[in-house]
Structure 1
Amino acid sequence: MRACGILMPVFSLPGPFGIGTLGKEAFAFVDFLAGAKQTYWQILPIGPTGYGDSPYQSFSAFAGNPYFIDYRLLVEQGFLTQAELPAPQPVGAIDYGALYRERPLVLKKAADRLLASPTDAYHTFCTRQGFWLEDYALFMAIKAEQHQAGLADWPDALRTRQPEALAAARARLAEQVDYHKAVQFFFYTQWNALKAYANAKGVQLVGDIPIYVSPDSSDLWTHPELFQTDGQVHLTQVAGCPPDAFAADGQLWGNPLYDWPKHQATNFAWWKRRMQHATSIYNVVRIDHFRGFESYYSIPAGNKTAAGGHWEKGPDRAFIQAMHECLGEGGIIAEDLGYLTPEVKAMLAASGYPGMKIMQFAFDRREPGNYLPYTYPANSVVYTGTHDNVTTEGWQQTAAPEDVAYACRYLRCTPGTLTEAMISACLASASDMAIIPFADWLHLGAEARINTPSTQGANWQWRLAQPLPDGLDGHIAELTRLYDRAPA
């Protein structure tokens, strides 16, 4: 079925609390999507973020981000009073430092009220999510006790989960553990309500999960045997991308690499549980860096850049088969950008999952792949750009002039109409799914860029600060119908 949607991070929504939340602005965005005849709302990962604020470096592959909890909904439920709400703020770039200082103070008041008289819903949540919740809550409590030190710098007994040290920590930090469990209950209560509302409106949520977990995560702490470590929860090899035309030193992500033989010996039990969780909270799941299942770039831990790494074989078809057994054969988007070998292409074909096509790449002379729209198979998802690209308006300002001229010749447009022409080319393409970043529909420039890979300091901060243009939903709906992507 031909369909389309909009990419818009939760954190980019407007609202009075310094960051987008799961409150009324999120529900209003669902209404906008439904009015614009959109089938999908694609977001970025929703896990709790740490150093660098990247949603792709989360403290847990299962937990939700406490920053997204809407205070007003907690007031409605009686967990906060109106007087306890922070003063409303004008919508601007996200100040993560301010959120880090303020959020726990307010959420602690709500958690205390819940824990003073726990509800049946809370007990049910803790039971159903116990396979990750208990370890995550203890991890966060210990991390706070260790002055937010990364897992690699914890005392040996705690880092390596010595039973006596863990038992003492559970007793010593019981109140803090309960706080983190309560916060997760608040998050998932609000998330599930938003998902139910969206689905009732005919809007499906497209989630996004990183292939790798963070080096500072409860996942590594709880299951170090599933990763390439030295037996003391210190990493021996880390993840990244090799040097290319976009990054001379490559990309040094620093994530733990999987010990794939260990995963295969369990028939990928951890990954099955992770994907079952993801498919329970999203309608469709995009897996970032999908090519890493065929082969992955391995960098010695301690290297300062990604240069000097090498490729290692991944689980390939065995992983695909395990996912098919667990999930069926649909509901996944494979992020297949980057260096693609014939083996990667064969694995993607065997999976049946749609890959991604980026329209901006079609006109970038640095990009070796052919992303021109005539090459798109039906089983693909096309974007003007992703969260890692500058907006299309911004691309015109930063791309080589000859690349912009080529795009205008190909799309039969002028620079002033290039964004609209690129959107239309995406919608007109043969790809079954087209996803357009909301900033492109708004014709915003580089100020609306979400992330610049391999940089820190100004990423993940953009928020929608201006009112929507009158008639934007009607305009999007008109193009959606024109290119036969509107729901029946």
Structure 2
Amino acid sequence: MTYSGARDALFTKRRIGVLLHPTCLPGDWGILGRSARKFADFLADAGIGVWQTLPIGPTHADMSPYQSLSAHAGNPDFIDLAELIPPGLLHTGDLARADENGGRKNLLELAAQRFFDQSVSVPEGLDHDSYERFRESNAYWLDDFSLFSAVRESQPGISWLQWPTELRDRHPEALKAFADQSATVIKRIRFEQFVFHHQWQALREYAHARGILMFGDIPIFVAHDSADVWANRELFKLDAQGNPTVVAGVPPDYFSSEGQHWGNPLYDWDAMAEDGYQWWLQRLDSQRHLFALTRIDHFRGLQAYWEIPADRPMPKDGYWVPGPGAHFLEACFRKFPDLPLVAENLGIIGEEVEQLRRDFRLPGMTVLQFGFDGSPDNPHLLHNHQERDLVYTGTHDNDTTLGWYRSLDSHTRQHVNSYLETSGEEMPWPVIEAAFRSVSSLAVVPMQDFMGLDSAARFNTPGTTENNWIWQLNWAACPADLSDRIRNLAELYGRLT
């Protein structure tokens, strides 16, 4: 089988990308309306052709997009409530009295009530026929997610492991009884997903009309407390009560000297292979309808993954276990020959991982911040980049480039200055320009780097649980000439969209 085709067309043109998760956007009533369109307009003005996000599913209280309640659902907090006023699902007065109305959840409940009562005449795309088509085509995940979320609302503050046994273990009679008594809540949850996907597709079309491709992210593992694990326990390494017997993590690397204990349940890949990996194929299909390009986070876990015994929580107690490798990827590309995947190949990466990636012609990643260990053979250095790979100044897991530069010891800082032929005064722009000069077809820069922000704007620090995922873009802090500066460099280095 040859793994090429339409997906390769995405890498035949030099482009600039920006990394910004939608939660970073300001918005009084949500994200996927005026706020997101304003950002897309900025990207178009700057000549930026790719908008990369993190996973966009509903999160737990820690707000980590990598621990979602669903591998398919969208985060209802993204829904722009103001966009529901023109079709009559909400009124201006409803938003003005938001506190009296009980906040976002109750406003969405009110919009759902008006929608299902058919008391308003909604436009095409938000009409009842569109809703029924959405519900039918997404039933494979939507039914379980809606039921899971409704039970979760009735059992606040606990995971599905602590639910009443008949609900935890999905006894059919108990599920039916609960669904019958919670029909209104379940309808509201389905409605939220319908609206989310409607607004996301509208944003995607708006961006595409301006030459911007949406670039998503799939965490290789899913959260234990999720609809996916609750509804598919046979596909994970769990005990009879649903507890993980082993969990995911990584050994010590340059992100964490102690390693990382992620806690995600691990797949029973043999069980998944029995039906040709249908669960994964459905997951990939969902992403294909949301994004033009998708990154598989922790790609190396497909070749081998770090398995940590659940009763021994130190990452160092783990061990490598072979992953499904080529057998899995062959099934993916047999189903979707033009599947537009990028492999996140950071961390402890051996030749076997890189060979698997090359066998399937998957672009990989380089990060300029990782290049300065003193070795001229470091793959992250500019002169070692490959055309079909992606180059980043830093990722969401890194410090901002300015913060990183300021934290370097004097010897490494001088090495950076010598390599980039800079005094360092204009950091982070020498690193941004280096990414633009790279032979790599796609150069991605976090928005914080474009804005020249320091460590206070860092989005995530791996291995920690405090002060992550909370940074917000402040348009007033953007230099007035920022889009012009980016656009001029894009033109200079042949990356203008």
1:272 maps to 2:281: yes
Residue 484 of structure 2 corresponds to residue 478 of structure 1 = no
Tell me how far apart the structure 2 counterparts of residues 240 and 4 of structure 1 sit (CA, whole Å): 32
Would you say the 8 A contact 2:253–2:348 is kept in 1?
Answer: no
2-structure distance, mates of 1:347, 1:284 = 19
**Could you tell me which of 384, 396, 400 is aligned with 1:391?**
400
Q: Aligned pair 1:357/2:366, yes or no?
A: yes
Question: Partner residue of 1:91?
Answer: none
The correspondence for 1:213, drawn from 208, 217, 222, is 222
1:115 is displaced (CA, Å) by 2.0
Counterpart of 1:13 (choices 25, 29, 36) is: 25
The code of the aligned residue for 1:238 comes to V
Change (3 A) 1:176 1:302: farther
Choose from 274, 281, 284 the match for 2:290: 281
Task: Determine if the alignment matches structure 1 residue 163 to structure 2 residue 168.
Answer: no
Which AA in structure 2 matches 1:73? E
CA deviations 1:284-334 (Å, max 9, x no partner) are 011110110000000111433312011100001111111211222451111
TM-score (norm 2): 0.92
Q: Of 247, 251, 260, which residue of structure 2 is paired with 1:242?
A: 251
Are positions 1:71 and 2:81 aligned together? Answer: yes
Give the TM-score of the pair, scaled to structure 1: 0.93
Aligned residue in 2 for 1:403: 412
* Amino acid aligned to 2:19: L
Which one of 145, 159, 168 corresponds to residue 136 of structure 1?
145
Cα distance, 1:401 vs structure 2: 2.9
Quote the offset at 1:369 in angstroms: 5.2
Range with bigger deviation, 265-274 or 365-374: 365-374
Deviation, structure 1 residue 86: 5.4
Please identify runs of 4+ aligned residues in structure 1 that moved more than 3 A.
364-370
Pairwise mapping of residues 311-322 of structure 1 onto structure 2 (< 5 A)? 311-322=320-331
- Tell me which residue corresponds to 1:186: 195
Q: What's the offset of the Cα at 1:415?
A: 2.1
* Alignment partners' CA distance in 2, 1:284 and 1:86: 39
Matches of 2:201 and 2:472 in 1, distance apart?
23
| 2:121 counterpart residue number | none
Report the Cα offset of residue 365 of structure 1: 6.7
Structure 2: give runs of 5+ residues left out of the alignment.
1-12, 119-126
Q: Find the residue that maps to 1:415 and give its secondary structure.
A: coil
SS in 2 for 1:63: coil
Aligned length: 474
Maintained 8 Å contact 2:236/2:265: yes
Are residues 1:263 and 2:272 paired? yes
The partner residue of 1:2 within 14, 20, 32 is: 14
Are residue 34 (structure 1) and residue 35 (structure 2) matched? Answer: no
Offset of 1:137 from its aligned partner?
Answer: 0.5
**Which whole-Å CA distance do the structure 2 matches of 1:33 and 1:190 have between them?**
19
Indicate conservation of the 8 Å contact 1:151/1:215, yes or no: no
Report the Cα distance in structure 1 between the residues aligned to 2:441 and 2:26, rounded to whole angstroms.
30
SS of corresponding position for 2:470 = coil
How far did residue 236 of structure 1 move? 0.8
Aligned-pair CA distance for 1:341: 1.2
How far is the alpha carbon of 1:35 from its aligned partner?
1.6
- Against the structure 1 CA distance between its residues 205 and 368, is the aligned structure 2 distance closer, same or farther, given a 3 Å change threshold? same
Shift of 1:114: 1.4
Cα distance, 1:367 vs structure 2: 13
Change in Cα spacing, 1:86 to 1:333, as seen in structure 2 (3 Å) is farther
State the one-letter code of the partner of 2:188.
Answer: Y
**Cα offsets for 1:47-106 (capped at 9, x unmatched):** 000131100100000000011000110112211111121589xxxxxxxxx9xx832122
Aligned to 1:94: none
Look up the SS of the partner of 1:28 in the other structure: helix
State the alpha-carbon separation in 2 of the partners of residues 148 and 297 from structure 1.
Answer: 30
Counterpart AA for 2:235? L
CA deviations on 1:158-180 (whole Å, 9 max, x unpaired) are 11111122111111211111111
Q: Given residue 20 of structure 2, which amino acid in structure 1 is its aligned partner? A: M
In structure 2, relative to structure 1, the CA distance for the partners of 1:314 and 1:197 (3 Å cut) is same
SS in 1 for 2:143: helix
Percent identity between matched residues is: 39
> How much is the aligned-residue C-alpha RMSD, in angstroms?
1.9
Out of 235, 238, 241, the residue aligned to residue 229 of structure 1 is 238
Report deviation, 1:141.
Answer: 0.5
Deviations 1:451-482 (A, max 9, x none): 11111121111111242322211111110111
Contact 2:342–2:362 (8 Å) recurs in 1: yes
Shift of 1:149: 1.0
Per mean C-alpha deviation after superposition, the further-off stretch among 135-144 and 79-88 is: 79-88
3-state SS in 1 of match to 2:315: coil
Cα–Cα, structure 1 residues 245 and 129, in superposed 2: closer, same or farther, change >3 Å?
closer
Local SS of the residue matching 1:214:
coil
Query: Residue 427 of structure 2: SS of its match in structure 1?
Result: helix
